A and B are shown apart, each in its own frame.
Chain A
């Protein structure tokens, strides 16, 4: 409704400003001014509507000019000429653009540039910090490595930092804080009050931008899984273990802290391709309940949980389903999938090694094992080619004992 009023006022101004020849004055029979007026009234709402749907208002910049001179006889056209003139003092600022083009420009910038753009002026700072933009940055760089588990860890991290900050601030205010609780002393503003203004400008702790920056700077240690931990350690070949990771932007690598196997183990210089988002959203101490047991056939690729003893966390180990001894291995004669027993093969080990093979019963498998051979836990069947090729790409160059 408001738009209609504004457009009506602007129509009056427009029709007057376009009056060059007398017979065109607001006359319904006047060719040109009729064109302009009907175009304006007819076009503007539909343009506005279509733009509103897209989330930006194209007519707004046009309206801004009309609003700028209500009931003045200044011509719209000549005013625009001044504003668009070359090297005029009031240069056309791209901040006058509706949101859409500016958003597109910002979307194309790198994170460093987004930060710099925020230092240009205050309104750009608000824009450059929007969660939407930084979510895109997160997906671009961190999508393969940060999952739900990491986001939850981040929430905890934010909560604890907020508590810490509040605790520090209340300590600073000290006596003023306790005095303020008595109403007569409300006029006493703590000196830290100036800090409130500064806080407004600083980044909100729980924003996506804060997450991104915390990851980049290595402040935030996030949970993920690392393939072939301890880089070639024979004891961990073709396994994937949970760890807390910290990014080093100078070397573009990660440092890992593995859950204690009696002691903390760290590893450095881990490349991006050795990390993954934990596929199961559970703590590594929790047994995964296998849901694919009936579906396992020779040749299937799987991952199985394994741990040395009941105090240690599980790691995920890659294997394939093998044929039973009784089976010849011919595809059309193989009945292994009908058998209750399932052979799991870990071909990275030499034949004869005790780690090469294990057998489970698909009817009631939960966790099997002992203190010598370790414990075999839940099984995940691998469906995606991506996962399988990743495992294969990590195949050791020589077989392991």
Chain B
């Protein structure tokens, strides 16, 4: 890899548990929340930036994703296939809980591409699943009365056909 240019500084991020991550400033640019902070401090960032809403597991995943995508994009040959494979593996490697936690972290850090990808993944997960499944997945309480639910079911009967068994 080429040597670090004068624009390529290292930023240190600190998670909730206190773990420190050294991140290249080019990667940090994708973390728009962090970038905004850097911009506001007039680029004078020497101490670690604390991220009180982000846990080590999530930050490490996010940085992993960004590092890989930067690597794919800057490769000599277009690595679309590899990137697609990586994305598929990345999505599969997480449980639903981890996926949700990652979305929250990515949303807080404002990582646009990852967020788009994660939201698509969620949409794929709840595709063809039952209402109950969606409730459990999103952690939502059912606030309909049984009568209302029955009525909705009847109205939307066409939508409820072809639903996968959980």
A residues at B contact (CB < 8 Å): 31-32, 35-36, 38-39, 42-43, 46-47, 50, 58, 61-62, 76-77, 80-81, 84, 86-87, 91-95, 97-98, 100-101, 104-113, 115-122, 124, 198, 201-202, 216-217, 249
**How far, in Å, is B111 (CB) from chain A's closest CB?**
11
Q: How far is the CB of B165 from chain A (nearest CB, A)?
A: 14
Assess whether B67 is interfacial by the CB under 8 Å rule.
no
A121-B144 contact given A39-B49, A50-B36, A62-B53, CB 8 Å threshold: yes
For B142, the closest partner residue in chain A by CB is A121
B52 and A98 contacting across the interface, CB-CB below 8 Å: no
How many A-B Cβ pairs are below 8 Å? 144
Are B119 and A105 in contact (CB-based, < 8 A)? yes
* Closest residue on chain B to residue A201 by CB atoms: B148
- From B3-11, B22-30, B78-86, B122-130, give the one contacting chain A: B122-130
* Complex-state Cα separation, A121 to B134, whole angstroms: 10
Is B156 in contact with chain A by the CB < 8 A criterion?
yes
- A191 to B: closest C-beta gap in Å: 17
Q: Given known contacts A42-B41, A47-B36, A217-B158, is B126 in contact with A113 (CB within 8 Å)? A: yes
In the complex, residue of chain A having the shortest beta-carbon distance to the beta carbon of B95:
A86
User: Which of A43, A61, A86, A97 is in CB contact (< 8 Å) with B37?
Assistant: A43
B75 at the interface (CB under 8 A from A): no
Q: Which residue of A lies closest to B127 (CB)?
A: A113
Q: Which of B55, B110, B123 contacts A58 (CB 8 A)?
A: B110
6 further A-B contacts with Cβ under 8 Å, apart from A47-B110, A93-B140, A104-B115, are A61-B104, A92-B100, A94-B103, A97-B103, A105-B119, A117-B131
Residues of B within 8 A of A249 (CB): 158
Given A42-B40, A112-B159, A121-B141, A105 contacting B52 (CB threshold 8 A): no
Judged by a CB distance under 8 angstroms, whether B143 is at the interface is yes
- Residues of B near any A CB (own CB < 8 A): 16, 32-33, 36-37, 39-41, 47, 49-50, 52-53, 55, 97, 100-101, 103-104, 107-108, 110, 115-116, 118-120, 122-124, 126-128, 130-131, 134-135, 138-144, 148-149, 151-153, 155-156, 158-160, 162-163
Partner of B138, one of A39, A107, A120, A217: A120
Q: Specify the chain B residue showing the minimal Cβ separation from A104.
A: B119
Can you name 5 A-B residue pairings with CB atoms under 8 Å? A36-B50, A58-B108, A101-B103, A105-B119, A119-B131
The CA of A117 and the CA of B149, in the complex, are separated in Å by 12
Give the docked Cα–Cα distance between A93 and B148 (Å): 23
Complexed CA–CA distance, A122 and B149 (Å): 11
Asked whether B140 lies within 8 Å of A120 as measured between CB atoms, the reply is yes
A92 with B143, Cβ < 8 A, contacts A108-B123, A112-B162, A217-B158 known:
no
Inter-chain CA distance A100–B50, complex, in Å, is 24
A41 to B, closest residue via Cβ: B40
Whole-angstrom distance between the Cβ of B71 and the nearest chain A Cβ: 25
